[in-house]
Amino acid sequence: MTGAIISLTAMKALPFGVPKLLITSAVAMPAHAEQLARYFALADITVMHAVIDTVGKNGLVRTLALNGANAISGMVETGRLTAPDKRPSVAITEFGFCEKGAYFVRQILEKEFEIVSFHANGMGDQAAMEFARQGLFTAFVDLVPAAYSEYLLGGNRAAGPHRLDIAADLPIPYIFCPGGFDMLACGPLERRDKDDPLWVSRKLGERRLYVQDALRVQARTSGKEMEQVAEAVAERLNRYILKARVKVVLPLAGFSNLGVAGGALHDPAADLLFVESLKGRLDPEIEVIEVATDINSPEFARVVAGALSKGLRAVRQGPPVQPIPKAQ
C-alpha cells in the first residue's frame, strides 16, 4: 500500500493525458477505497490489479510486468496519433436531474467549442476545479454547482468550501446556474432509522423525499436553507475580480427535473427565496438573468449560451486578471 500511495502521488501531479499506469494489489481492499478515490477521481490513472503480491521474479510477476509495459507503451504510441481539437474548450457541470439542460447547452455550444462535462457528484467537482487550475478551459458553465450547497448543509455530494472559487482568479467567463440547490443528497435510506446526525439535525424524515433506490435519496431543501445557500453563494461570487465576466442565470420554474411543477421536490416558494436573497446580496456589477422556464428547457440553454457570449466579450475587453489569494 505504501508503494502505491507514493506512486499515486507522483502520477496525480502529472497533467491530464500523460499516460499513467499503476500495478498493485492494494486497490481491491475496501478499507482503502475512500483514500484511493482521492487520487483516481482527480487524475486519469489506469490501474492493473495485480491479484498477487509483486515481489520476487516468478512467472506471474513477470507476466504482470510485461502486460504493464505493453499497456503503457500502447498508450504512448497511440497518443501520438491523436490530433488535438482546435476548438477552445468549455467546461460544464451536470448530473442526472439536470441532464436535459446540459444536453441542450452542449448542442448549442459544440458548434464553436469543445465541451468537457464533469459529473457534479462531489469528486467530479474537485476534478473540474483541478482541471480549471491547469488552464484547460476558455470558459466555465457551472450548470450544477450543488456540491457547494451540499458542503454547507452536510450532504453526500460535498466538494469543500472553495467549490465556487473555481474561476475566481482565472481570466475566463464563469456562468453560474443554481442546478441542484433544491435537493440534498442524504442516502442511504437506512440512515433515517439509525438516528443519523444529518437526518436528525435537519429533520429530513419530515420532508419531501425522492427515493431512487435504497442508496440514493434526495431531500427537499427548506426555504431557510435556500436563503443560507444564497447568502454564501453571493459572498463567494462577490470575490471575483472582473465581475463583468460572471453571469448568473436563474431558471424561475425549477432548478432540476425534481423541482418543476409536478416534480417530487417542487417548492416554488423556497426557490423564490433563493432567487430574491441572491439578487439582494450580489454585487451590482454581476449581471443576473432570470428565465421564466426550468433549467432543463431549450430556452434556458439558449440564455446560458448568450450569457457565455457576453462573458467572453467582457474578457476580451477587460484588463488582465491578477491572481488572488485562495479564499479561507
What is the reported pLDDT for 279?
97
- Give the integer Cα–Cα distance in Å for 14 and 10: 7
- Give the integer Cα–Cα distance in Å for 198 and 76: 47
What is the H or E stretch that residue 125 is in?
A: helix 123-133
Banded pLDDT at 9 (limits 50, 70, 90): confident
pLDDT at 29 over 80: no
Q: What average pLDDT does range 240-252 have in this prediction? A: 94
46-56 per-position pLDDT tens digit: 888 887 777 77
Q: What average pLDDT does range 166-194 have in this prediction? A: 95
- Give the integer Cα–Cα distance in Å for 294 and 301: 10
What is the reported pLDDT for 81?
55
| C-alpha to C-alpha distances, 160 to 49, 166, 235, 327, nearest whole angstrom | 31, 11, 15, 12
| C-alpha to C-alpha distances, 307 to 124, 162, 278, 314, nearest whole angstrom | 24, 23, 18, 11
Banded pLDDT at 328 (limits 50, 70, 90): very low
Helix intervals (H) in 134-285:
146-153, 197-201, 223-237, 268-281
Q: What is the mean pLDDT of the chain?
A: 90
CA dihedral (285, 286, 291, 297) positive or negative: positive
- Give the integer Cα–Cα distance in Å for 118 and 115: 10
Phi-psi sector, 56: left (phi>0), alpha (psi -120 to 50), beta: left
- Give the integer Cα–Cα distance in Å for 45 and 17: 9
| List of domains in the chain | 2-79 (3.40.50.12020), 89-316 (3.40.50.12030)
DSSP assignment string, 183-220: EEE---GGGGGTT-HHHHHTTGGGS-EEESSSS-EEEE
Task: Tell me which residue has cell 450532504.
Answer: 155
Which residues, other chains included, contact 259 with Cβ-Cβ below 8 Å and sequence gap of 6+? 182, 183, 265, 266, 267, 271, 294
122-173 per-position pLDDT tens digit: 989 998 998 898 888 999 999 999 999 999 999 999 999 999 999 998 989 9
Phi, psi of 287 (to 5 degrees): -75, 130
DSSP summary character for residue 134: T
- Give the integer Cα–Cα distance in Å for 256 and 183: 9
What is the reported pLDDT for 49?
81
- Give the integer Cα–Cα distance in Å for 146 and 229: 10
What is the reported pLDDT for 59?
84
278 and 248 in contact (C-beta within 8 Å)? yes
pLDDT at 191 over 50: yes
Q: Which residues of 202-226 are buried (b: 16+ CB within 10 A; e: fewer)?
A: bebeebebbeeeeeebbbbbbeebb
Q: Is the preceding peptide bond at 197 cis, omega within 30 degrees of 0?
A: no
pLDDT at 236 over 90: yes
Q: What average pLDDT does range 63-78 have in this prediction? A: 89
Q: What average pLDDT does range 280-292 have in this prediction? A: 97
Task: Tell me which residue has cell 457551472.
Answer: 142
Task: Tell me which residue has cell 424561475.
Answer: 252
Task: Tell me which residue has cell 460535498.
Answer: 158
Banded pLDDT at 6 (limits 50, 70, 90): confident
What is the reported pLDDT for 80?
62
What is the reported pLDDT for 231?
98
What is the reported pLDDT for 1?
67
Q: Tell me what percent of the residues of the chain surpass a pLDDT of 70.
A: 92
Q: Please indicate whether residue 250 or residue 77 has the higher confidence score (pLDDT).
A: 250
Query: Checking DSSP bridges between strand 209-211 and strand 174-176, what pairing results, if any?
Result: unpaired
What is the reported pLDDT for 25?
75
What is the reported pLDDT for 134?
85
